[in-house]
Amino acid sequence: MEESLIPPDQEPVEICLLAGKIMLQSGAETYRVEDTMTRLAASLGLPGSQSYVTPTGIVFQSGEMQWAKLIRIVERTTDLEKVAAVNNVSRQLGNGTLSPEAAYQQLVRIDTSRHAYPLPLQIVAAAVASGCFTFMFGGVGKDLLPGILCGGLGFAAFLWLHRLVRVKFFAEFTASLMIGIVAYLLVQTQLGTTLDKIIIGSVMPLVPGLLITNAVRDLMAGHLVSGLSRGAEAFLTAFAIGAGIAVVFTVL
């Protein structure tokens, strides 16, 4: 039923574009997206394809005589499972163990699949990671519990706010503001000792680590536009977190 939606001569192009879109939305590096799309095109019998990928859109042309196609990417998250799944489809297609139709259907399934881990588990993971980071960055044993509490709370607040307002900057700012206030209150009530370490640990789940590394890798791979715009995104996130914490310090 999926095949009937697209004309047969367009199908290879659709496969490449869908694969590229999923990878870019899931946080793959730009050069990897281009690489995968070119490989897919080659194994689908479209030699001489060109792709131009930026974090906000993909332009793909399957050959000199074809139209170029454009896909706009609005939202980007980190979803490594999807990156791995698309990679797998691309490899199977290259081996010839997967037909183009089956590949397209698999890609559609990957595109519509949800986060594999339930929300409570994600929050617990963020909380545990925050606790561990609080210790790793030099907090004492007593700071472990406040770290876990603040980290979980901050991440839950971030997820909720992001769903509510859809402005990532605001969600990050408010979440880190909350982390700062809760950490301060916990230290005031003698439940924690080192305020700095608790805050640094709890903020870690929000820190744009993947964005920063991807930005640098894109820059080094020669994708200057992508690298700079990803860098800008990372800087904006870092600034939002810093500003949220800064507000706490200015007020207190």
Partner 1 sequence: MSLVLHCLTSFVAAAAFGILFNAPKRTLLQCGISGMLGWAAYYLLTAPFNTIFATVSATFIVGLVSLIFARVYKEPVILFSVSGIIPLVPGGLAYDAMRNFVENQYDIAVQLAAQAFLISGSIAIGLILSEVMNQIAKSIPIRRAPRL
- Looking at the Cβ atoms of 8 and 120, the one nearer to partner 1 is 120
Instruction: Kindly report the number of other CB atoms within 10 A of residue 219's CB atom.
Output: 17
Determine the 3-state secondary structure of 116 from DSSP: coil
Binding residue for partner 1, selected from 108, 145, 212, 228, defined by CB under 8 A: 212
Q: What angle do CA 25, 31, 37 make, to 5 degrees?
A: 70
- d(C-alpha 222, C-alpha 19), whole Å: 22
The encoded tokens of residue 82 equal 């999807």
Binding residue for partner 1, selected from 7, 48, 209, 222, defined by CB under 8 A: 209
33 binds partner 1 (CB under 8 A): no
Instruction: Show the 3-state SS of 56-94.
Output: CEEEEECCCCCCEEEEECCCCCCCHHHHHHHHHHHHHHH
Binding residue for partner 1, selected from 50, 56, 217, 225, defined by CB under 8 A: 217
Pairing verdict, β 68-72 and 50-54 = unpaired
Closest approach of Cβ 131 to partner 1, in Å? 8
- Looking at the Cβ atoms of 57 and 242, the one nearer to partner 1 is 242
The encoded tokens of residue 174 equal 């408010």
Binding residue for partner 1, selected from 6, 68, 70, 121, defined by CB under 8 A: 121
Binding residue for partner 1, selected from 57, 76, 135, 168, defined by CB under 8 A: 135
- Looking at the Cβ atoms of 13 and 203, the one nearer to partner 1 is 203
Nearest to 231 by CA among 244, 217, 246: 217
What character string, x for contact with partner 1 (CB under 8 A) and - otherwise, covers 65-84? -------------xxxxxxx
- d(C-alpha 133, C-alpha 141), whole Å: 12
- Looking at the Cβ atoms of 12 and 131, the one nearer to partner 1 is 131
Closest approach of Cβ 70 to partner 1, in Å? 25
Nearest to 197 by CA among 235, 145, 251, 126: 145
Instruction: Kindly report the number of other CB atoms within 10 A of residue 112's CB atom.
Output: 7
Residues interacting with partner 1, by CB under 8 A?
27-29, 32, 39, 78-84, 87, 90-91, 94, 115-117, 121-122, 125-126, 128-129, 132-133, 135-137, 196, 199-200, 203-205, 207, 209-210, 212-213, 216-217, 220, 238, 242-243, 245-246, 249-250
